[in-house]
């Protein structure tokens, strides 16, 4: 059911297939920048929704048609997207802040969705995202994954750096992988670090950069004394809503892993992003770290 | 098979049943103090092995017959225990530091056990502990759990404080409990914290006090803004070697939970320790925290 009083959007030059313009909701981190840049490089003219308090300042946003948007104004977003003839929406980057209920500008579709949104916020991240997706789609906007509009950002398979894992890293990869999957299954986090063959630190709400910063401090812990190397494994959550929250690593992850004394980073090939690929790999090579893309058990998208 | 050239130990007044003296290997934390105090209160004369760099200074140790012991001297421990007529050994408290191989004083039984010890150190904590237990028992020393010589330290069932959990705490208890069990199953940690119905921080190698310190900082994280309360759940690992590493909470846990803004603490009734019980409960009451002992699914010991 399409929105009322609206003619079908007409194709514009440079837009994606179907004449339906792509909007990018830009949350925190570098993924939104990468997605918008990639879209522009393919000739599209993405409509950028900068989430206040989350989206970075970046020239590529200024160069694109964009609006600034407070999460409390969620109800105003749908009309704005319709006006801009947006048919497909990419949610990119983190939105850590939850709306303050008293500041929300209520609109009718939002009120109608309220019970579901409340239930979703009570659940994990995944539940929130799946709910937002279904509400948007009921309003005639298709949510697509960043990997669908920018597949070049997906991590390739294999060793991506000059160095690869050495023998002892294999046990760390196994231990961290099992831990990351276990916490992912519970919708807690995506990443885990193993040193000396055992998982020693797990991602919670602090995110991967926070986990790595913590690991740097843990290095002096008695039980890690004399232990070197160690691996960060970041997995797509088993039940992840793939269209909205694919794991990403980038130069900051590499810098954090290096500061934490780790030997390398493992990501899901084809199911996670490597942001700023050239700089990420160059930085890893500079520090002697490996980055390995492993085919996840569930296969590619 | 008993040790050679040794007569059977004779009963001494105040010793435990069977005339076999109890030794307490005192690692870090308050558990060893609690165990030695409890033993002395029952009239026993425990032989205390203070692990250097781990055991606290405490008057109750000075009042007991004791030796100081570097973990590299593991091979000398068995003869010392035999000389002191020790037949039962309690391992209490953490031993975070791993022996430096080059500093180890090798003895024949130790050399014989080496392959197993190396394999054990490559595995998790549980594996190390199970291996140490089996080596001691082959040498005629029975390893008993702290709860066997000091059952009064075990957490009772039910609400132990003036306040109990409120309605919204139940979701936190469920979420933290599921998370703690998941990481316990992987032999990573025992504790997890949930806020607003979801697990937000998981114990790694930093231990429960480290986890709580971290949580205090996470309070300012955007995703937790406006959220209050939250619960720490600490579970016995499903495959835990019960004789050597039962989870414990005490006044420091309560202070840490209070500083982290939590509403309460949940432990396994009959399968975990509450150290310094009166002070722990009084401090929780002072801060308005609850402590709840829940019957673990596997039942009591």
Which residues of A have a CB under 8 Å from any CB of B? Answer: 96-98, 100, 122-124, 171, 178-179, 182-183, 185-189, 193, 197-202, 204-206, 214, 218, 221-226
Which chain B residues have a beta carbon less than 8 Å from that of A201? 204-206
Dist. CA B137–CA B131, nearest whole Å: 10
Would you say residue B123 has pLDDT above 80?
Answer: no
Nearest CA in chain A to B168: A122
| Per-residue confidence band for B100, with pLDDT thresholds at 50, 70 and 90 | low
At A58 the pLDDT is 95
Q: Which residue did the predictor score with more confidence, A59 or A12?
A: A59
Contact A183 B187 (CB under 8 A): no
Residue of chain A whose Cα is closest to the Cα of B227: A98
What is the nearest CA distance from B278 to chain A, expressed in angstroms?
A: 31
Which residues does B228 contact at the CB level (< 8 Å), separation at least 6? Answer: B261, B263
Chain A residues lying within 8 Å of B169, measured CB to CB:
none
Check pLDDT > 80 for residue A196: yes
Residue A11: is its pLDDT beyond 50?
no
Interface test with B, best of A186, A225, A233 (most B CBs within 10 A): A186
Pick from A171, A187, A225: CB nearest B98:
A225
N-to-C CA span, chain A: 28
> What is the structure's pLDDT at B269?
96
Is the ipTM reported for this complex over the cut 0.85? no
pLDDT tens-place string over residues B22-47: 999 898 888 899 999 999 998 999 99
Does residue A1 carry a pLDDT above 50? no
Q: What is the DSSP string of chain A?
A: -PPSS-PPPPP-TTPPGGGPEEEEEE-BSSHHHHHHHHHHHTT---EEEEETTTSPP-HHHHTS-EEEE-GGGHHHHHHHHHHTTEEEEEEESB--SPPPGGG----HHHHHHHHHHHHHHHS-HHHHHHHHHHHHHHTT-EEE-HHHH-GGGBPPSEE-SSS---TTHHHHHHHHHHHHHHHHHTTS-SEEEEETTEEEEE--TTHHHHHHHHHHHHTTSGGGTT----EEEE---TT--TTT---EE-HHHHHHHHHTT-SEEEEETTSSEETTHHHHHHHHHHHT-EEEEE--TT---
Rg (CA), chain A: 20
Which of the residues A94, A223, A235, A238 would you substitute to probe the B interface, choosing the one with the greatest number of B C-beta atoms within 10 Å? A223
User: Tens digits of per-residue pLDDT, A274-287?
Assistant: 999 999 999 999 99
What's the mean pLDDT when you consider all of chain A? 83
Answer whether residue B198 shows pLDDT above 80.
Answer: yes
- pLDDT interval class at B93 (50, 70, 90): confident
pLDDT, tens digit (0-9, with 9 covering 90-100), for B262-273: 999 999 999 999
Distance CA B257, CA B291 (A): 11
Confidence (pLDDT) at A33: 94
Contact state of A205 with B221 under an 8 Å Cβ cutoff: yes
pLDDT digits (tens, 9 = 90+) for B238-253: 765 555 668 899 999 9
Residue A95 pLDDT: 72
Question: Across residues A41-65, what is the average pLDDT?
Answer: 93
Query: Which of B93, B186, B195 would you mutate first to test chain A, the one with the most A CBs within 10 A?
Result: B186
User: Chain A residue closest to B182 (CA)?
Assistant: A182
Q: State what percent of residues in chain B have pLDDT above 90.
A: 50
Q: Which of A174-178, A182-186, A269-273, B238-242 has the lowest mean pLDDT?
A: B238-242
Structure tokens at B266: 């949940």
Percentage of the residues of chain A whose pLDDT score is greater than 90: 50
**Which residues from B are below 8 Å from A218, CB to CB?**
204-206
The two most distant CA atoms of chain A are separated, in Å, by 69
Give the lowest-confidence range in A3-12, A138-147, B121-130, B140-149: A3-12
Interface test with B, best of A204, A211, A235, A245 (most B CBs within 10 A): A204
Query: Mutating which of B184, B193, B205 best tests the A interface, going by the most A Cβ atoms within 10 A?
Result: B205
Does the CA dihedral B40-B44-B47-B49 come out positive or negative? negative
Shortest CA gap B293–chain A (Å): 24
Question: What confidence category does residue B284 fall into, taking pLDDT thresholds of 50, 70 and 90?
Answer: very high
Q: Quick one: pLDDT band at residue B275, thresholds 50, 70, 90?
A: very high
Nearest Cα of chain B lies from the Cα of A286 at a distance, in angstroms, of 29
Distance of alpha carbon B52 from alpha carbon B73, whole angstroms: 11
Report whether pLDDT(B8) > 70.
no
Q: How confident is the model at residue A10 (pLDDT cuts 50, 70, 90)?
A: very low
Predicted pLDDT of residue B15: 42
Q: What is the pTM of this model?
A: 0.78
The answer to whether B179 contacts A186, with C-beta atoms less than 8 Å apart, is: yes
Residues from chain A contacting residue B182 (CB–CB below 8 Å)? 182-183, 185-186
Q: What is the average pLDDT across A152-175?
A: 96
Q: What is the mean pLDDT of residues B134-150?
A: 83
Least confidently predicted of A83-97, A195-209, B36-50, B195-209:
A83-97
Q: What is the dihedral of CA B276, B301, A183, B131, to 10 degrees?
A: 90
Distance from CA of B246 to the nearest CA of A (A): 18
Q: Which residues of A touch B214 (CB under 8 A)?
A: 206, 214
**Residue pLDDT, tens place only, B56-66:** 999 999 999 99
Tell which wins on pLDDT, A6 or B129.
B129
Give the one of B96, B206, B224 whose C-beta lies nearest to A205's C-beta: B224
Q: Give the tens place of pLDDT for each residue, A286-300.
A: 999 999 999 987 544
pLDDT higher than 60, residue B9: no
Both tokens assigned to A101: 């209920």
Q: Among A122, A124, A202, select the one facing B183 at the smallest CB separation.
A: A202
| pLDDT for B144 beyond 90 | no
- Separation in Å, CA of A189 to nearest CA in chain B: 8
């Amino acid at each position: 059911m399409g929105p009322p009083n609206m003619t079908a959007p007409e194709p514009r030059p440079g837009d994606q297939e179907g004449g339906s313009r792509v909007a990018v909701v830009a949350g925190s981190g570098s993924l939104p920048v990468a997605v918008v840049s990639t879209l522009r490089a393919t000739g599209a003219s993405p409509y950028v929704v900068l989430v206040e308090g989350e989206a970075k300042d970046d020239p590529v946003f200024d160069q694109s048609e964009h609006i600034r948007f407070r999460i409390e104004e969620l109800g105003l977003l749908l009309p704005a997207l319709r006006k801009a003839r947006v048919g497909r929406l990419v949610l990119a980057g983190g939105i850590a802040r939850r709306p303050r209920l008293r500041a929300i500008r209520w609109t009718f579709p939002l009120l109608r969705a309220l019970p579901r949104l409340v239930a979703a916020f009570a659940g994990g991240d995944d539940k929130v995202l799946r709910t937002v997706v279904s509400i948007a789609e009921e309003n005639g906007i298709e949510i697509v994954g960043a990997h669908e509009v920018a597949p070049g950002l997906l991590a390739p398979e294999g060793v991506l750096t000059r160095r690869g894992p050495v023998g002892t890293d294999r046990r760390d990869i196994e231990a961290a992988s099992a831990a990351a999957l276990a916490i992912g299954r519970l919708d807690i986090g995506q990443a885990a670090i193993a040193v000396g063959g055992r998982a020693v630190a797990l991602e919670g709400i602090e995110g991967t950069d926070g986990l790595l910063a913590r690991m740097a401090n843990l290095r002096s812990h008695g039980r890690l004394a004399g232990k070197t190397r160690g691996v960060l494994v970041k997995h797509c959550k088993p039940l992840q809503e793939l269209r909205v929250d694919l794991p990403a690593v980038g130069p900051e992850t590499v810098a954090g892993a290096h500061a934490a004394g780790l030997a390398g980073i493992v990501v899901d090939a084809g199911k996670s992003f490597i942001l700023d690929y050239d700089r990420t790999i160059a930085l890893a090579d500079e520090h002697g770290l490996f980055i390995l893309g492993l085919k996840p058990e569930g296969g590619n998208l």
